[in-house]
Chain A
Amino acid sequence: MRKRIGTWLFRVVVGLLVLFLSLPLLIVVATAFDASGAVVFPPEQFSVQWFGALLERPTWIRSVLNSLFIAGGTTVVSMIVGVAAALGVRRFSGGGRTAVVGLTVLPLFVPGIVIGIVLLTFFSRFGLQQSYFAVVVAHSLWATPLTFSIVQASFARFDWQVAEAAQDLGATPRRAFLAVVAPNVRAGLVVAALVAFVVSLQEFIMALFLSGPDTRTVPVQAWNSLRQGLDPLVSVVSTLLLVAVVVLILAGSVLVGLDRLATDA
């Protein structure tokens, strides 16, 4: 009997946690479809008018484009850095490897607000504050350890003697990588790129300090309007951002399975 109660109690607690994590997000989505624009739940009258209204607000459009551009830039930078590093440390073991891994993960253990103000003060010496460059570099500091570790994990599952065989048969290292290695680790590479993109898309604190009126990302723009009161467009943009993230997670899960996505990232 006591066991039964324990099991039920456990289920209730887990159920509440799931509600705690998911319900608020669903409510945000629901408020995006309300006609009144008063940000109420449950919505009184279904409408998609606010999605249309979004298209008439240049600051929001600008922030969406900025977010995509910065996330794209972060993906490119962190993939180049992460893949190169994963190839580089492959022949290392022990001390050298730990040093490189340690260096890449270090920025993850510094609060975002500190990196934000550090880069703000540092980049402003060179007039680079509020530039795309500043935000992309900051996001790459957080995205690179993830691309690096995901790519490294998929490299570890690959039989490198095949690549060596290709080189023995006369392929250049570059050709051997593109023709032999890349197709075999493709899923890992795509997932790493997806994770980098999403990390940049959702990052807020560093972007808040490093972006300016022209380079503001969606989370920063949403924050600014939230500070001024509830704006129905925040619900709308949040919904779009959530949909984008769901699509990207689904893509990643199809490629490598949710279990690996959840444990690698």
Chain B
Amino acid sequence: MSTGTSRLSVPALPDRWRTLLLLLPVLLLDIGAFLVPMGYLLRLSFTAQTSQGAFVEGSWSTDGYQYVVSSDLVHQIFTFTVAFGVGVTLLAVAIGVVYAYAAWQAERAGRIALLSVAVLSLFTTLVIKLFAVVLVFAPQGVLNDLLTGVGLLSEPVLLVDNLVGAVFGQLYIVTPYAILAVYAVLSTLDRHQVEAARDLGAGRWDAFREVILPHIRPGIAVATVVSFTWSIGAYAAPLLLGSGGEQTTGILISELLLTQFDWPAAAALAVITVTLVFSVLMAILWRFDESGGILNA
């Protein structure tokens, strides 16, 4: 209200310049260290391949994209990655909704316990989580020991170095984000609305479907986008817990970049991945998130 006039006594910069100055660091960081490098990646994806060095400086070519389009191996890996990403996302969002709902409707102590576990898991580095998955699910791991020990299994089942291991590992990475994204929105729901629905004769499931589910749509949208972004870029989980059959685009990109020194192909693949993620982001923003909740998360 009084912003313009009250500052006259202060020998400071005009408001507009002050605002610009305050925004300078964020513009510097996000333009200088994100947008410009992304532009560089785009440029890199249009350079020519070469057997000497990583790419031909200053050249224009579609070598990288041609490699991506023509290679069967790349198709196979890309298809697997998308399927893997969609599968993990569906599982993570389902778990997120169930878990967040459980935390929301629990009494105080239960809620604190459930949230603590989710927050701790969120803030634990994925390397520790994957290490933990190895300890639990390996053939000589805790779970197999337990199940063979009590006689449920005659011999250990293989739960790592295959698709199951990769999915478990990736779920372990993304689930906390999904839980907290849904919980953040659910915590703003007025309990009386649910009680009113129950009083009017709605069962627990009906109240969930008619009152809670519509309310948490933005949370589900955020959970979906975050889980999908992380899973489509999966690298560590499939590498450590998968087998050669669970190659993802992320693993392929790093191999092209670091061992084959084929930077145009690596850049092209990265550009395609980012485009895919952003298309999904846009589609979900447009479809689910009328209120702009993603930007406020």
Which positions in A face B, CB cutoff 8 Å? 3, 6, 10, 13-14, 17-18, 20-25, 27-28, 31, 39, 41, 77, 80-82, 84-85, 87-89, 91-92, 98, 100-115, 117-122, 125, 137-138, 140-141, 144, 148-149, 164, 167-168, 170, 172-173, 198, 201-205, 209, 218-220, 222-223, 226-227, 230, 234-235, 238, 241-242, 245-246, 248-249, 258-259, 261-265
Contact = CB atoms under 8 A, between A and B. Distances in A.
B135 A28 contact: yes
Contacts of B56: none
B125 A117 contact: no
Given A14-B102, A109-B225, A263-B183, A103 B30 contact: yes
23 contacts: A13-B98, A17-B99, A18-B114, A22-B117, A31-B135, A91-B3, A110-B229, A111-B233, A112-B233, A117-B41, A120-B257, A122-B36, A141-B33, A164-B6, A173-B18, A203-B125, A204-B127, A204-B236, A205-B233, A238-B127, A242-B120, A262-B180, A265-B119
A41 B253 CA distance: 36
A84 B25 contact: yes
B233 A173 contact: no
Contacts of A223: 127, 236
Contacts of A31: 135
Contact of A117 (B20, B120, B254): B254
B40 A21 contact: no
A261 B117 contact: no
Interface residues of B, number: 97
Contacts of A242: 120, 124, 128
A104 B30 contact: yes
Contact of B9 (A85, A170, A230): A170
A259 B132 CA distance: 27
A85 B187 contact: no
B242 to A, nearest CB: 14
A220 B125 CA distance: 10
Nearest to A27: B135
Contacts of A258: 112, 115-116, 119
B229 A24 contact: no
A128 to B, nearest CB: 11
Interface stretch (B58-66, B159-167, B263-271): B263-271
A259 B111 CA distance: 9
Contacts of B95: 17
Interface in B25-65: 25-27, 29-31, 33-38, 40-41, 44
Given A20-B172, A167-B10, 4 more contacts: A24-B136, A25-B124, A104-B26, A265-B119
Nearest to B141: A41
Contact of A25 (B10, B23, B132, B204): B132
Contact of B136 (A27, A89, A112): A27
A120 B258 CA distance: 10
A121 B40 contact: yes
B30 A106 contact: yes
Contacts of B35: 103
